[in-house]
Amino acid sequence: MLGALVLCAGAGCSRRVPEGTPAEQAVADAPTVYVAKRIRTLDAAKPEAQALAVRDGKVLAVGTREEVLAAAGATARVVELGDATVVPGLTDSHGHLAGLGQALAGVRLEGTASLAEVRQRLEKAPATAYQGDWLVGQGWDQNDWDTPRFPTLADMGEHLKDTPVVLWRIDGHALWLNGAALKRANITRDTKDPEGGTIQRLPGGDPSGVLIDNAMDLALKALPPPTKEQHEARMKAALEHCARVGLTGVHDAGMDLRTFRLFQAWDKAGTLPLRVYAMADGQTDDRVQYLKDGPFQGRLLTMRAVKLTLDGALGSRGAALGAAYSDEPGHRGLLLLSPEEYAFRVHAFVGRGFQVATHAIGDRANTLLLDTLSRELSATGTKAARPRVEHAQIMTAEDITRLGANGFVASVQPTHATSDMPWAEKRVGLERIQNAYAWQKLKAAGAVLALGSDFPVERPDVLAGLYAARTRQDASGQPPGGWHPDQRLSGEEALEGFTVGAAYASFAEAQRGRLMPGMDADFVALSVDPVDAPPADLLTGQVRLTVVAGREVFRADAK
């Protein structure tokens, strides 16, 4: 249960002291000692241990059971974790909490194999999926359907013809609307494509129902926002889900101002359960207020970065490529910000002390990013700002070298590679795919890898991310040996990406990412060793305990 502290369990547990007695405060202030089969500290001086002690939200001691109990003292509470493996707090370096909350509440379309299955799920929509009288859903991917094409108005069916329906594509870079939603948004055959966006059209010129990238704003302006109660319930559900899958922290890639204000209130009240490194939404009008306010540091909430989005996604052919798509001659994708506007926003946010994190998937977008940020940071002398490349999917060999040499962080998502591998080469061809999802090449160039999932595009389940990083295979073990296996990460490299790399990417390497005395007591107990266990075991592994700042925010039910 989220936020419920399980202070003591197993052998050596101190008995509960009645509230109000002098002894109660002494017990409450006492350290807690966690004992496990193995603790992976990621501290080179002491890489493995059997116990750690926690006090006042910090790691007090790490070592053998005897060493740690002696350091903790006679009043210490002891938690026996049995055969579990404890690792430093796992952080998703690129997720979307508002999107996850909406996905958990709306119609879930992930894994649908046909348009008929989509219609079936829409017919069974839960009451939570409505915003006003609009039905909201997400997760469709035409590449998975028996007819792998973009859907149209006719494919939505007649069941909801009078209800506005808006469905996000799995990558969040396309919307599928029905006729009622198009009418509410006043999108007609006369509506022009906005800069950086496309209205898909039927042969006669009428809108087909699919809007790509910046064209989505035409519909989203008409969509009623969630109510206050809906918004809070969705955010609580998203945070609870993250704790349950073993995340102690999330780097939220483009937080809207409404969610940030809510999190500020929760953080001030002490009810925010996870560490949230929020990137200001630099794409919308919210950026004006963020620039006015500047960076923010709370207890578990940090706002020190800005998220800018340069291009679309590969799956919807919105990623900006230098040459045309291999499966759509003449089309090179979309730039969502002009080079001039991107440079203007970079300059403004760097001047206010923000780290710049930029979504760039295609090689054209990545080149523009590196050119712009390198020029800006050279001119202002702020190389230590650790600019982040969010996704870094399709790159040239030259740009991979530049990314590493110039101190950029590569924020990449292992499960994107395993989701995209069935069709990615069709999009970009054999030559360009050699420098796509190229994790080892990025590491060799000197880049720090910060690993994430991009939830809700992918599941936030961190064990699935560790599996994908180690294997570059799907859950059935395909393809044999992995997709471009030379780019796989070792078990320790993958674990470092969700711990040490994530901490570095958020300027927190002195506080988090390793389990050492004096560092934050963020850690996770797993049923499987993520480094040494056979990779397939990660797919059935379980999270047993999630601890943030010494507070247990999730514990699996005792059996």
| 516 has a pLDDT exceeding 70 | yes
Question: End-to-end distance of the chain based on CA atoms, in angstroms?
Answer: 15
**CA torsion, ordered 238, 57, 59, 78, to nearest 10 deg:** -90
Note if the pTM is more than 0.95. Answer: no
pLDDT the model gives residue 19: 45
Q: What are phi and psi of 39, to 5 degrees?
A: -120, 115
Q: How would you classify residue 347: left for phi > 0, otherwise alpha for psi between -120 and 50, otherwise beta? A: alpha
| 270 has a pLDDT exceeding 70 | yes
| Closest among 417, 415, 362, 425 to 389, alpha carbons compared | 362
Name residues whose C-beta falls within 8 Å of residue 178's C-beta, 6 or more positions apart in sequence: 153, 156, 160, 161, 163, 164, 165, 209
| Closest among 549, 482, 557 to 248, alpha carbons compared | 549
Does domain 98-221 match CATH 3.40.50.2300?
no
Mean pLDDT computed over 409-426: 97
pLDDT in tens, 218-233: 999 999 999 999 999 9
- 403 near 442, Cβ under 8 Å? yes
Q: Kindly state the percentage of the chain with pLDDT values over 90.
A: 89
Least confident range from 120-129, 150-159, 294-303, 357-366: namely: 150-159
Q: What are phi and psi of 130, to 5 degrees?
A: -100, 135
What are residue 170's DSSP bridge partners?
none
Instruction: Please count the CA atoms within 13 angstroms of the CA of 183 that sit on its side-chain side.
Output: 10
Q: And the tokens for 282?
A: 């630099």
Name residues whose C-beta falls within 8 Å of residue 466's C-beta, 6 or more positions apart in sequence: 414, 491, 494, 495, 498, 530, 538
| 351 has a pLDDT exceeding 70 | yes
DSSP string over 143-155: GGSSS-S---GGG
pLDDT the model gives residue 27: 52
Measure the CA–CA gap between 38 and 51, rounded to whole angstroms: 8
Instruction: Please count the CA atoms within 13 angstroms of the CA of 552 that sit on its side-chain side.
Output: 19
User: Which architecture does CATH list for 310-451+459-489?
Assistant: Alpha-Beta Barrel (3.20)
Q: How confident is residue 384, by pLDDT bands cut at 50, 70 and 90?
A: low
As to burial, measured by CB atoms within 10 angstroms (0-12 exposed, 13-18 middle, 19+ buried), residue 58 is middle
Q: How confident is residue 2, by pLDDT bands cut at 50, 70 and 90?
A: very low
Output the CA–CA distances (angstroms, integers) from residue 94 to 307, 389, 397, in the order listed: 10, 11, 24
What are residue 34's DSSP bridge partners?
52, 79
Q: How confident is residue 295, by pLDDT bands cut at 50, 70 and 90?
A: very high
- 513 near 502, Cβ under 8 Å? yes
pLDDT the model gives residue 8: 31
Measure the CA–CA gap between 531 and 48, rounded to whole angstroms: 12
pLDDT in tens, 299-323: 999 999 999 999 999 998 999 999 9
Name residues whose C-beta falls within 8 Å of residue 206's C-beta, 6 or more positions apart in sequence: 188, 189
| 159 has a pLDDT exceeding 90 | no
Q: How confident is residue 173, by pLDDT bands cut at 50, 70 and 90?
A: confident
Measure the CA–CA gap between 417 and 437, rounded to whole angstroms: 6
Domain spans of the chain, in order of start: 98-221, 310-451+459-489
| 9 has a pLDDT exceeding 60 | no
pLDDT the model gives residue 171: 84
Q: How confident is residue 296, by pLDDT bands cut at 50, 70 and 90?
A: very high
pLDDT the model gives residue 158: 82
Q: And the tokens for 290?
A: 């963020």
Name residues whose C-beta falls within 8 Å of residue 504's C-beta, 6 or more positions apart in sequence: 386, 409, 448, 450, 513
pLDDT the model gives residue 381: 75
pLDDT the model gives residue 28: 56
Mean pLDDT computed over 379-398: 89
pLDDT the model gives residue 383: 57
pLDDT in tens, 479-494: 999 999 999 999 999 9
Name residues whose C-beta falls within 8 Å of residue 478's C-beta, 6 or more positions apart in sequence: none
Q: How confident is residue 528, by pLDDT bands cut at 50, 70 and 90?
A: very high
pLDDT the model gives residue 12: 30
| Closest among 215, 436, 428 to 317, alpha carbons compared | 428
Pairing outcome for strands 134-140 and 448-451: unpaired
Peptide bond into 414 cis (omega under 30): no
Residue with tokens 């044999």: 480
